[in-house]
Amino acid sequence: MTNTLRSERARPLAGAARVPGDKSISHRALMLGALAVGESVVGGLLEGDDVLHTAACLRALGAEVTRRDDGTWHLFGRGVGGLVEPADLLDMGNSGTGARLMMGLVATHPFTTFFTGDASLRSRPMRRVTEPLARMGARFVTREGGRLPLAVVGTAQPVPIRYELPVASAQVKSALLLAGLNTPGETTVVEPEPTRDHTELMLRAFGADVRVEPTEQGGRVVTVTGFPELTGRRFEVPADPSSAAFPAVAALLVAGSEILLSNVGVNPLRTGLYQTLREMGADILFENEREQGGEKVADLRVRAGRLKGVEVPAERAPSMIDEYPILAIAAACAEGTTRMNGLAELRVKESDRLGAMARGLAACGVRVEEEADVLIVHGTGRPPVGGATIASKFDHRIAMSFLVLGMVAEQPVVVDDADSIGTSFPGFVALMNSLGAAIA
């Protein structure tokens, strides 16, 4: 049975909360812990479905991965090049990040690995990862269009490459850097514009040799040296800025609200949404800024207020690609038009997020225009009508975004299948209701 949720007008949001750990960092902490020598202890790990699938797959590859009663995760790694052939399929669930990074991890090991996932993941393109990994020596057998299920035939003699990303992608970059760990010489990725750098920061923290150099065109050249000795370490995962976006935008929109979100990751390559919201007039303060395991973190204080429409440049997309659905909700309540550019990547997320947002907003009485890579939202400065039932298409960010809209809309909003929320934000409903939402 699917989990249908109904969200209605909220009272002013108040209080403090901590959203779950950063999903991107959680995947990478587990993977590098599985490659490190000795014990790694990870606190604050996101225990959502996506990350739990990654943990299960690393166990299948020979790493020791356990959760203690105090909530910490303990890993005893295999060392670089020490993973073993899994006895069964690796099921990545709904996680595109987990699948693409894991392909890089096994591509330079001399064994065959079979990958699958849920219906949504099996529909998503993997060729952007398989093509450069094939240049390093791995072979792939895939369904039409490079989709899962697929087989990775790892190479015993990997070749280092210099690869220029055709489109900025932290997942492709990370997959190649992870493959480069078990490859002689230097593996280099050239990105046209900077993408989230969690992999580079964490590789350094575990002891790898990573160089990052700017290009004259505004991008970056990232190089990893093969065969490092990664050493187990303690690591605390900051709260996910993408998850924090949902209560933050809700607090901006529900009159009279003020909330504090603690220990949120504010890596500059992940804060495009907060920059955009501030340009719209949002009252968002980063308090107690500090560094934690190489990552910048802060406490976010958010107060309600009026927002105005803005134009969001295409070059900002890599720093907020997961946050456009909730930004569209803010835009629907803002005064004036918001134009979001450079959104082609949203067509190949867990769903066609661009199309899903346009249809859902229109059903809630918001005037929208949709182009190939552009979403234009015409806000009226007041809450939308709402009253629609939204088909989430098993997309957690679509589901959570429209539940936030229901908190401010004139009529309740229903999401037809909210089970997917558990992939990134377990406890979402309880946290939101604790602040003042009315989701049931």
At 364-420, the pLDDT tens digits run: 999 999 988 899 999 999 999 999 999 988 889 999 999 999 999 999 999 998 888
293 plus 434 within the same structural domain: yes
Task: Report pLDDT digits (tens) over 290-300.
Answer: 998 789 999 99
Q: Residue 349 pLDDT > 70, yes or no?
A: no
190 plus 249 within the same structural domain: no
Q: Is residue 64 in a domain? A: yes
Sequence-distant (6+) residues with CB within 8 A of 216 are: none
Return phi, psi of residue 377, to 5°: -115, 125
Annotation: binding site for phosphoenolpyruvate: 23, 96, 124, 171, 353, 397
Per-residue model confidence (pLDDT) at position 350: 58
Q: Is residue 16 in a domain? A: yes
Report how many domains make up the chain: 2
Q: Is residue 231 in a domain? A: no
Annotation: binding site: 23-24, 28, 96, 124, 169, 171, 322, 349, 353, 397
Strands 438-439 and 5-8, how do they pair? Answer: antiparallel
37 plus 55 within the same structural domain: yes
Q: Is residue 291 in a domain? A: yes
The last residue of a domain, from among 182, 198, 224: 224
Choose, from 49, 299, 322, 395, the residue flagged as catalytic.
Answer: 322
- pLDDT-derived band of residue 351, with 50, 70 and 90 as boundaries? low
Q: In what order do the strands lie in the sheet with 90-91?
A: 90-91, 112-116, 147-153, 139-143
Per-residue model confidence (pLDDT) at position 209: 97
Q: Is residue 132 in a domain? A: yes
194 plus 288 within the same structural domain: no
Q: What percent of the chain clears pLDDT 90, i.e. is strictly above it? A: 88
14 plus 35 within the same structural domain: no
Per-residue model confidence (pLDDT) at position 1: 41
Task: Report pLDDT digits (tens) over 328-337.
Answer: 999 999 999 9
54 plus 194 within the same structural domain: yes
User: Which domain range does residue 39 map to?
Assistant: 23-224
Contact 51, 45 (CB under 8 A): yes
170 plus 282 within the same structural domain: no
148 plus 292 within the same structural domain: no
Task: Report pLDDT digits (tens) over 90-149.
Answer: 999 989 999 999 999 999 999 999 999 999 899 988 999 999 999 999 999 999 989 999
Q: Is residue 50 in a domain? A: yes
In the DSSP assignment, the letter for residue 242 is: H
Q: Is residue 229 in a domain? A: no
The last residue of a domain, from among 194, 224, 254: 224
216 plus 245 within the same structural domain: no
183 plus 40 within the same structural domain: yes
The last residue of a domain, from among 224, 258, 293: 224
13 plus 91 within the same structural domain: no
Per-residue model confidence (pLDDT) at position 2: 64
Annotation: binding site for 3-phosphoshikimate: 23-24, 28, 169, 171, 322, 349
Task: Report pLDDT digits (tens) over 145-203.
Answer: 899 999 999 999 999 999 999 988 999 999 999 999 999 999 999 999 999 999 999 99
* CATH number for the domain harbouring residue 111: 3.65.10.10
52 plus 172 within the same structural domain: yes
Task: Report pLDDT digits (tens) over 193-247.
Answer: 999 999 999 999 999 999 999 999 999 999 999 999 999 999 999 999 999 999 9
Sequence-distant (6+) residues with CB within 8 A of 58 are: 30, 31, 34, 65, 75
The dihedral region occupied by 238, where left means phi > 0, alpha psi between -120 and 50, and beta the remainder, is beta
Per-residue model confidence (pLDDT) at position 422: 87
Tell me which of 13-22, 105-114, 346-355 is least confident: 346-355
Q: Quick check: is 322 catalytic?
A: yes
Q: Is residue 230 in a domain? A: no
Q: Which amino acid is at 262?
A: S
Q: Rounded to 10 degrees, what is the CA torsion of 85, 89, 95, 99?
A: 40
